Amino acid sequence: MMTHIDATVSMNPVQAEPVSGRRVIVCSGTGCKANGAEEVHAAFVREIGAAALETAVEFGRESADGGASVTGSGCQGLCSQAPLVTILPDEILYMRVAPEDVPEIVATTLAEGRVLDRLLYQRPDTGETCRGAAQIPFLNRQTHVVLRDVGRLDPDNLDEYLKTGGYAAARRAYTEMMPEQICAEISRSGLRGRGGGGFPTGRKWETARLQAGAKKYVICNADEGDPGAFMNCSVMEGNPHSVLEGLMIAARAIGADESYIYIRAEYPLAVRRMQQAIDDATAAGFLGRNIFGAGIDLHCELKEGAGAFVCGEETAMIASIEGQRGMPRPKPPFPAQSGLWGKPTIINNVETLAQVVGIIRAGADHFRQVGTPDAPGTKTFALTGHVANTGLIEVPFGTTLREIVYDIGGGVTGADGRIDPDGFKAVQIGGPSGGCLTAEHLDLPMDYDALRSVGAMVGSGGLVVMNRSTCMVSVARFFMDFTQRESCGKCVLCREGTKQMLVLLDDILEGRADEDTLPLLERVGSAVMKGSLCGLGKTAPNPVLSTLRYFRPEYEAHVYEKTCPAKRCPQLRVFSINAEKCRGCTLCAKKCPVDAISGEKKMAHRIDTSVCIKCSECQTVCKFDAVEVN
């Protein structure tokens, strides 16, 4: 099994002509912008101009007075430390930069070349400060292919993408390769769809290529909607031209002259940057008529979706683009045979198309150097939850969950936010369509077949780490609530079955369940999986059934003992007063809204559980930690 290549090679910065000054790259992905990156960017422009430093950057588009330039980038990965600022060629990475930090950075780092230790990353395990990406385990243990330039180049600058070799693969596809050669190369690479299903990309393309008829379409599925997932969004925000170039190659492979990028409107920054990429590529002659002088036309249009999760399913997406309600239809025929307006149509997600560029540029053999024989290449994940380092990662298929959580993520955090060596409880992978992985799966290789064997799936790539304080029944309920609300309602088993599963979960969480509840929950879940029309319904029960499989005692405690082992379910909490700690101050009794607490002054008090409404006000006001929850 091959899993890793030299990360220092794959994570090289954007290559260009040598410069004598320094380049300031302010992360301008959604996470950093939400934490004030725009203000930080403006402060750098202002301060560099005031200092009149000659640190002009080769790709800079926005110049401050004095000839200096500051550029933005897509997500630089470590979202938990936003806003991030990278300084090249020093390879310095500053964390949580605020506008008030900028004058000191300009005066100390840019003017004098000295590093500000207080803004460097500090390892949660050793406390060691790290100067840049090469020293930070979260970054140096990854293998960047799709994300190679996402945190480096300016996504609004076509010239910068061209200097990284941009559109060379598309040019080769249109001027040097025939469609059947492209399909064969993609098939030989073993590339599988990164949207969740893992279907062989080359086989899908070849099916569409062989269809009769002159009119065909290619669609980029950018409707990423899983809770906690932001991989595709980050790629579009950080390197939109790579997605567009992959789309062009797909169109050439099947003979399409029209293409669409279907992107949810909730991604306004990605929408803007993808539209600018389309406009800039069209103005440069890479899109439109007679591409690369090859006599082939390709037009691209961006379509904004209204945010319906079901529209991530390819036939529902096609219906939405056609102006119909986004609802799936039975297959076959498959879209590659009869898709948009009845014509052969290929649909690939953002990450799949971005991977295509590297395959055509460097060849299938190079692509297969990482990953596993059945799942070559890398996969991006959104790492979130109870983990020290959260953010955007890319690792080879075959990497274990342990490597991701502990080596890259830095370990599991407890309720106090500190590293808890024994805190790991589970990971939810694949969002509402995925399943739950436990401690026994920490050494399981992350690939399609291995995950499927334990009732989980890669999905789009969301990874939510959970510690011991997590109630797994509540987690299952969260995802079931999401899929129930997102069901399009076309088929009865999905529409009504998910609703009934949600009711049963509420019964469990609120103390109304009995001995028939769990068997009924499993039967309904099985029926929904078997009878639903599309992937949303077929996978909706996964979070419930996988947590039932691995955490059944926790469900049984809710049902039979009416207690939540994690003490997270409000309706199952039992409040009591520890007589040894109680000082009889009467504060809890005075604050109780239903007069459930009684006792004489300076004597131990009691809680009448039959009256208590579990509001926790007594626990909040007690100064002696005498109120306990069981």
- Beta pairing, strands 391-396 & 299-305: unpaired
Q: What is the CATH classification number for the domain harbouring 390?
A: 3.10.20.600
Q: In this predicted structure, what is the pLDDT of residue 7?
A: 34
User: What does the alpha-carbon distance between residue 77 and residue 68 come to, in Å, rounded to a whole number?
Assistant: 26
What is the tens place of the pLDDT at every residue in 207-248?
Answer: 999 999 899 999 999 998 888 788 999 999 999 999 999 999
Q: Is the dihedral of CA 317, 319, 323, 325 positive or negative?
A: negative
pLDDT in tens, 368-391: 999 999 999 999 999 999 999 999
Residue 21's pLDDT is 61
Answer for the pair 287, 251: CB distance below 8 angstroms, yes or no: no
Residue-wise DSSP of 343-376: S-EEEEEHHHHHHHHHHHHH-HHHHTTSB-SSSB
**How far is residue 145 from each of residues 12, 294, 359, 367, 444, measured CA to CA in Å?**
10, 29, 11, 9, 23
Q: Which helix (H) or strand (E) holds 556?
A: helix 552-556
Q: Quick one: pLDDT band at residue 150, thresholds 50, 70, 90? A: very high
Nearest CA-CA partner of 301 in 263, 327, 334? 263
Q: Among 338, 282, 279, 302, which residue's Cα sits nearest to residue 221?
A: 302
Looking at the fold, whether 65 and 128 belong to one and the same domain comes out as yes
Q: 267 and 397 share a domain?
A: no
Helix or strand run (H / E) with residue 384: strand 378-385
Going by their DSSP bridges, the two strands 258-264 and 575-577 should be labelled as: unpaired
Query: Please, where are the H alpha helices in 141-267?
Result: 158-163, 168-175, 179-189, 201-209, 231-238, 240-254
pTM of the model: 0.88
pLDDT tens profile 6-56: 333 333 333 433 334 678 999 999 999 999 999 999 999 889 888 776 554
Statement to judge: residues 383 and 278 lie in one domain: no
Instruction: Give the pLDDT of residue 227.
Output: 81
User: Can you tell me the mean pLDDT for 534-558?
Assistant: 93
Q: Does the residue 567 lie in any domain?
A: no
* Residue 266, pLDDT above cutoff 80: yes
Cβ-Cβ contacts under 8 Å for 1 (sequence gap 6 or more): 372, 373, 398, 445
**Both tokens assigned to 204:** 């899908």
The conformation of residue 14, written as its DSSP 8-state character, comes to P
Question: What pLDDT sits at residue 111?
Answer: 86
d(CA 78, CA 93): 10
Residue 153 included in any domain: no
pLDDT at 2 over 60: no
Quote the mean pLDDT of the chain.
90
pLDDT per residue over 297-323, tens digit each? Answer: 999 999 999 888 888 889 999 999 999
457 pLDDT band, cuts 50/70/90, is confident
Q: Do both 115 and 220 map to the same domain? A: no
Confidence of residue 502 (pLDDT cuts 50, 70, 90): very high
- The number of distinct structural domains making up the chain is 5
Domain, as residue range, for 552: 473-561
Residue that terminates a domain, selected from 561, 587, 606: 561
pLDDT at 59 over 70: no
Q: Using CA of residue 596, residue 599, residue 601, residue 603, what is the dihedral sign? A: negative
Is the model's pLDDT at 93 over the cut of 90? yes
Q: Residue 131, exposed/middle/buried by CB under 10 A (0-12, 13-18, 19+)?
A: middle
H or E segment at 86? strand 85-88
Contacts (Cβ under 8 Å, ≥6 apart) of 208: 216, 254, 336, 337, 344, 345, 346
284 and 340 share a domain?
Answer: yes
- Binned at pLDDT 50, 70 and 90, residue 410 comes out as very high
Indicate whether 538 and 608 sit together in one domain. no
The CA–CA distances, whole Å, from 140 to 10, 11, 132 equal 10, 9, 10
Spatial separation of the C-alpha atoms in residues 287 and 299, rounded to whole Å = 6
Tell me if 526 is assigned to some domain: yes
The dihedral of CA 582, 587, 591, 597: what is its sign? positive
Helix, strand, or coil here: 558? helix
Both 167 and 130 in a single domain? no
Question: How far, CA to CA in Å, does 361 sit from each of 44, 164, 249, 342, 348?
Answer: 36, 12, 11, 33, 19
**Predicted confidence (pLDDT) at residue 573 exceeds the cutoff of 70:** yes
- 330 and 302 in a single domain? The answer is yes
CB-facing half-sphere around the CA of 175: CA atoms within 13 A: 12
> Of 438, 455, 470, which closes a domain?
470
Do β-strands 217-222 and 258-264 pair in parallel, antiparallel, or remain unpaired? Answer: parallel
430 and 540 belong to one structural domain: no
